[in-house]
Structure 1
Amino acid sequence: MTRFRHTSRALLLGAGAALSGCAFLQPAHPPEAAYVVLGEGGAPIARVLTTAASCPSITLDHRELPMTVRAPLAPIPERGAAHPNGVPPSSPVLTCELPIPAGTRQASVARQALPLPHASFDRIVVIGDTGCRLKGREAQDCNDPQAFPFATVAASAARFKPDLIVHVGDYHYREDPCPAGRAGCAGSPWGYGWDAWNADFFAPGAALLKAAPWVMARGNHESCVRGGQGFWRFLDPRPLVPGRDCDAPANDHVGDYGDPYAVPLGGDAQLIVFDSSNTSYKGFQPGDPRIANYADTWRKVAALAQQAQYNIAVDHHPLFGFGATRNAKTGEAQLFGGDAGLLQSFGALDAGILPPSISMLLSGHVHLWEQVSFSSSHPTQFVSGFSGTAEDIVPLPESVPSGVTPAPGAVVEHMSSWIDGFGFMTMERSGANAWLVKVWDRDGNERNSCQVTGRKSVCAVRQVK
């Protein structure tokens, strides 16, 4: 009899556990997104976005813990003057988070495993400019996966099995309604609320969000007058502070800046992430407060760069890269160089623009892939702005004309580019200060490879066709 009771009790407990597990597998409100961002010192933070009324629990090494509210369940507040087309209603979303303690071996939310950082990041995916452009007369066919292929790019990049994903900024592009009569984007959400953010980034990027922890740089599309509210709520790794959330235009002088931070990569190498979202390609007038703000950024980057032997800077705006436009009268391609505002602010402190301990710069902003290396002492530049947004179509030359430079004093030695092609870039560590960089198309086919040693790089193909 005793044996039967024990057996029955075991069966009941097992059945209860199974039922409980089934209920946990199918929560009433599955998270809209669950991912890990890396912050200062590489500290991992679990983030969950949900339409539920309260935050879910998180399981860390088989221990269930409550998550905390980062931003309450509510629509992203309207700010400033109403959009000329009328602001569309924004769905409410709740942002939850919890720092993941060092040494944690397993983490999950609603039975979805969260990727944890490695001791050494040796396989890195670099993407940027991923959203679908809806701005004024510029309309991308967001409903067409060929015209807006970020979901395909993200799935292909996830198959690379990265240790880390670096996004160089510009996540949100659906600012205006789809033009009337355009089937390719008909019905697309727009504006700066959750619906547009989800359609632009979280839904198409789902496979890659699950693949590895993320480093999230901030682009000009995430400045306070644009998608800054969503950036602070969803992507920035630091605490969400009232007044630095871009909700009130009166506080934009605070919300438009975030301090640089470092993410160790192992092997005495690190990323240094800095916020360039509010710079100006035209440069600054004397007395513009942004000059002092970016001078402060430079000093903090220089201090962080003393922490490691090999430093890779990450921002949105290229300092040492090129773009090209067509001359309206002659049809000839005209090159333009790095961001004038940053070159002006940084160059006032150092003729080399970035501190000499920076060996590589990863950026986006220009909608192409590009590599530039210099015979001067400037760091090698990679531009990875080709992962979803309508691409630039004016080709760069195979070699830069003599005397043409993207930044004062920078002498181009090697250059490679890919124009009008969607994809992603990878970096594989090959030595203490060496990386193998590869360029992949949307479907995961290799299109170019580059060797990086110290501050120098050279690629196998000058122009990807």
Structure 2
Amino acid sequence: MNTSNFLLYVTIPFVLFGCSGLPQRSTEDAALESSWILVGEKNQQIVRVNTNADICPNIIIDSQIYSMQLRAAKATIERRPTPNSISDSKASVFSSNTCEITVPPGAKRVMLGTKVLPVLKATLNRILVLGDTGCRMKKNDHVFQNCSDEDAWPFPQLAKTAASFEPDLVLHVGDYHYRETACPDDAKGCKDSPWGYGSDAWSADFLQPAAPLLSASPWIFVRGNHEECARAGQGWFRYLSPEPYTEQRTCDLEKNDAAANYSQPYAVSLGNDTQIIVFDSAKVGQTAIDQTNPQYLHYWDNFMVVNQLANKSTGMSIFTSHHPVFGFVQYGNNAPTGFGAALQSVLEPINSRRYFPEGVQLALHGHVHNFQALNFVDEQPATFIVGNGGDNLDPKFPKPFPMEIQPAPNVTLKNFSHTNQFGFMLMERVDQQWNFKIYTRKGKLLNVCSMLVAGKIQCEKFGDIGDF
């Protein structure tokens, strides 16, 4: 053990309290910009911090002092090809160092300066699910959300509300970063907002507003299409990916995109009877993938890993990806249509008409900017889409919803619950049964669904639950 570090932390209880008896910020606290714990393969917990200090901080884990390691140094990365024009692009500036350390299995207490970080419990009974949380600033879409108005962009309020529920784990189903191009002069709602793919935009869009919820629970981060390499992939690998940070997996150079845009699935255990399988669908489009496309092989190989993970488990597997396998989307005043053809085109040849392996009994997604709960006549697993965390909401579905529309060939909808209000979902284990509670951004309960038998849910309300 480093003696100087040991002496520093031994004296902390005496120097952190002033005459008023209130805790005082340490020098190390003052340098920290943000901190969180992410959960990776086999429940591996990784502490990440952003610091403006020149060296990484020490951390106390169960009374033992450890030195955090540099993951990614502060840097200015040359402008790379993006979906935006050259005039609407710029270099990515990351103004702080990102440090990390893996938490030893079974750790009970993690302390960073004066802050206690949340660690995983042995059994996880309260899982909070949300997605698509950023504030959209995108010239190509001619959409600039009012990022300073909590009614127009409610994610900061939603994060505070969700933190008050004290979840054991947070599952974000992707799309954290939306501030892609500069706010125009005539869009007052996003005036002076940072933009681009550097740390200032990441901080404004996710790390700052999510802080209360990052402090409340460890997180599983699912990669969305906004985090593919040509967009916010650089921040994804610095901040949220559980993978090691290497030159090939940074999204800094376009030549590495073919590999860096795909990651192998992994599983996180919620206890002896349930696991979550995390799938990277960042590069999925909206149409079926031709088998001659190199992308097809990437997803084929990764879905074979999903099958292996599901078959190894003796309990229920929950599949999560940003893009839905089954769901509905509506563009403007057009009629709703099924969504998921890209992933379906790979899954169906592997697993036939069920699309998923038998062990997968539930699917969780985002991408479509509303809430959907889908229950099927067929053997397909029930599906929740929770893409209503902050970005511009999709249009309301018609009433009554045309139930004859199929989300995939030979897949028949039995029940459908939906709303285009901002909000989140809480999965709660009660007496070995999972219940799913749907809330607005302010914490109003809209609906409760229960998994009564494998792959099937029963909800208290069907149709447009925003009307209740």
Please give the TM-score of this superposition, normalised by the length of structure 1: 0.91
Structure 2, unmatched stretches of 5+, are 1-8, 18-22
Change in CA separation of 1:451 and 1:23 when aligned onto 2, cut-off 3 Å: closer
2:58 aligned with 1:57, yes or no?
Answer: yes
How far does the alpha carbon of each residue in 1:217-257 deviate from its partner, in whole angstroms, 9 at most, with x for none? Answer: 00000011111111111001121122122111111110000
- Find the aligned partners of 2:385 and 2:437 in 1 and give their Cα distance: 12
Amino acid at match of 2:280: D
> Which residue among 102, 115, 118 is the counterpart of 1:115?
118
- The structural deviation recorded for 1:50 is 1.5
Change in CA separation of 1:38 and 1:14 when aligned onto 2, cut-off 3 Å: closer
2:31 is paired with a residue of what secondary structure? coil
Alpha carbons 2:131, 2:172 under 8 Å: kept: yes
2:81 aligned with 1:80, yes or no?
Answer: yes
- The residue aligned with 2:460 is 460
- The residue aligned with 1:446 is 445
Please give the TM-score of this superposition, normalised by the length of structure 2: 0.91
Alpha carbons 1:367, 1:389 under 8 Å: kept: yes
- The structural deviation recorded for 1:400 is 3.7
Amino acid at match of 2:14: A
Alpha carbons 1:130, 1:386 under 8 Å: kept: yes
Alpha carbons 1:36, 1:214 under 8 Å: kept: yes
- The structural deviation recorded for 1:409 is 2.2
- The structural deviation recorded for 1:408 is 2.2
2:14 is paired with a residue of what secondary structure? helix
- The residue aligned with 2:220 is 215
1:448 is paired with a residue of what secondary structure? strand
- Find the aligned partners of 2:435 and 2:230 in 1 and give their Cα distance: 38
Alpha carbons 1:197, 1:230 under 8 Å: kept: yes
Amino acid at match of 1:422: F
> Which residue among 269, 275, 283 is the counterpart of 2:274?
269
Q: Between 171-180 and 445-454, report the one with greater CA deviation.
A: 445-454
> Which residue among 159, 162, 174 is the counterpart of 1:154?
159
- The residue aligned with 2:100 is 97
2:314 aligned with 1:319, yes or no?
Answer: no
- Find the aligned partners of 2:60 and 2:306 in 1 and give their Cα distance: 35
RMSD: 2.0
- The residue aligned with 1:368 is 370
Change in CA separation of 1:17 and 1:457 when aligned onto 2, cut-off 3 Å: closer
- Find the aligned partners of 2:228 and 2:436 in 1 and give their Cα distance: 30
- Find the aligned partners of 1:365 and 1:57 in 2 and give their Cα distance: 38
Alpha carbons 1:311, 1:357 under 8 Å: kept: yes
- The residue aligned with 1:5 is none
- The structural deviation recorded for 1:19 is 2.8
2:430 aligned with 1:430, yes or no?
Answer: yes
Identical columns (%):
36
- The residue aligned with 1:18 is 14
Change in CA separation of 1:28 and 1:302 when aligned onto 2, cut-off 3 Å: closer
Q: Could you say which structure has the larger radius of gyration? A: 1
Change in CA separation of 1:256 and 1:14 when aligned onto 2, cut-off 3 Å: closer
- Find the aligned partners of 2:359 and 2:219 in 1 and give their Cα distance: 24
Alpha carbons 1:161, 1:211 under 8 Å: kept: yes
- Find the aligned partners of 2:208 and 2:439 in 1 and give their Cα distance: 22
Alpha carbons 1:148, 1:388 under 8 Å: kept: yes
Alpha carbons 1:76, 1:192 under 8 Å: kept: no
- The structural deviation recorded for 1:396 is 4.8
Structure 1, unmatched stretches of 5+, are 1-12, 328-332
- The residue aligned with 1:350 is 351
Amino acid at match of 1:266: G
Change in CA separation of 1:435 and 1:89 when aligned onto 2, cut-off 3 Å: closer
Number of positions where the alignment pairs a residue of Structure 1 with one of Structure 2: 445
2:43 aligned with 1:42, yes or no?
Answer: yes
